Amino acid sequence: MELRYGCNPHQKPASIYMKDGAELPFKILGGSPGYINFCDALNSWQLVKELKASTGLPAAASFKHVSPAGAAVAVEMSDDLKKASFVEDITLSPIATAYARARGADRMSSFGDWAALSDVCDEATALIIKREVSDGVIAPGYTPEALKILQEKRGGKYNIIEIDPNYVPAEQETRDIFGITLQQGRNNATPDESWLNNIATANKDLPEGAKRDMLIALITLKYTQSNSVVYAYEGQIIGVGAGQQSRVHCTRLAGMKADNWFLRQHPRVLGLTFKAGTKRADMNNAIDSFLEEDLSPAELAAWEANFDVVPARMTKEEKRAWLDQQTGVSIGSDAFFPFRDNIDRASRSGVKYLAQPGGSLRDDLVIEAANEYGMTMAFTGVRLFHH
């Protein structure tokens, strides 16, 4: 299949094909997906397929630039979370719930996302996708109602891929860099509850909900550009720190996003009243600005323009008081935590459960830090780098 271009418009020619000459394991039902679209589609499909296999629940992901902005399974949403995710007016099916959670994990990063669904896309899910800025979707099938809605999106140019759910790739995968071919075995390590048996902390308590969230975190890490750290809560990812050179920067970035996710459900945020006709993207930007510590005069004026009656800004103390109420968050890391600073930062975002490979020379100091906070930390023994 010929593509318009590669990663950038000047990278031509570009194509996608099977090396053994077999048919591609998908169909294009709408649009004309490009090189980056396929990178997102094929990585995100693997993620949701594994989430469904691990949890038994419909799963969805929202991908941007080959890393998830959000991933989730179908756990019922509270009314406040539905409102914060802009889906309070839709009757949600299980797969729609999963996508609403995934898309709502980091709405700023999900702008122009690639959606992935483990189950057949139904009308409710298509209605969510229809009104969001999105580049495309991959799923094992589409109901007639859903397909009609999606094929009308963007004037018929919206990218729709139907993947063969039974497709199994070769055990060896190759990649060319600078004209040189690298080969490796596929990452077939599939996180399951046995990965959580080696608990290194004094606190051994690990409830079922935390196990589910830790597995969601670990599977998400498999398809997130390394270094990576993710925060998970109540069946979904709430913060992704991807592609950072320092692990503590992953932890800080993901923690900042997790804090933002919690703050978006604060009564003050849910009570914001925007001018009539304000677009979703502008609402998202305004909410993020509402939660920012400092704005320049120009930024403040742009923010105030979204409201008929400008609300009082949230104070640092208000936000901290709200975040201090949050607990039960799980965190996963694709490689070991080398210093306790990761644990200290995680504690500020309600983290109670941790999953990481272990194996650092400073494991004892990291365990000591987790014990100070009363956390439960499992050593999986498996690194999950993804490049």
Active site (catalytic) residues: 64-65, 227, 387
Is residue 259 within 8 Å of residue 323, measured between CB atoms?
Answer: yes
What is the pairing mode between strands 14-15 and 172-177? unpaired
Tell me the two tokens of residue 203. 């606190």
What's the DSSP call for residue 226? S
Is residue 55 within 8 Å of residue 216, measured between CB atoms?
Answer: yes
Tell me the two tokens of residue 299. 């930024």
Q: Can you point out the beta strands (E) in 105-213?
A: 113-117, 134-139, 159-163, 172-177, 180-185
| CA–CA distance, 50 with 210 (Å, rounded to integer) | 18
Phi, psi of 322 (to 5 degrees): -70, -45
| CA–CA distance, 354 with 32 (Å, rounded to integer) | 41
Is residue 130 within 8 Å of residue 149, measured between CB atoms?
Answer: yes
H-type helices in the chain, by residue range?
35-55, 79-84, 94-104, 123-130, 144-151, 208-222, 247-263, 267-270, 280-291, 297-304, 316-323, 341-347, 363-372
Residue 9, number of CB atoms within 10 A of its CB:
9
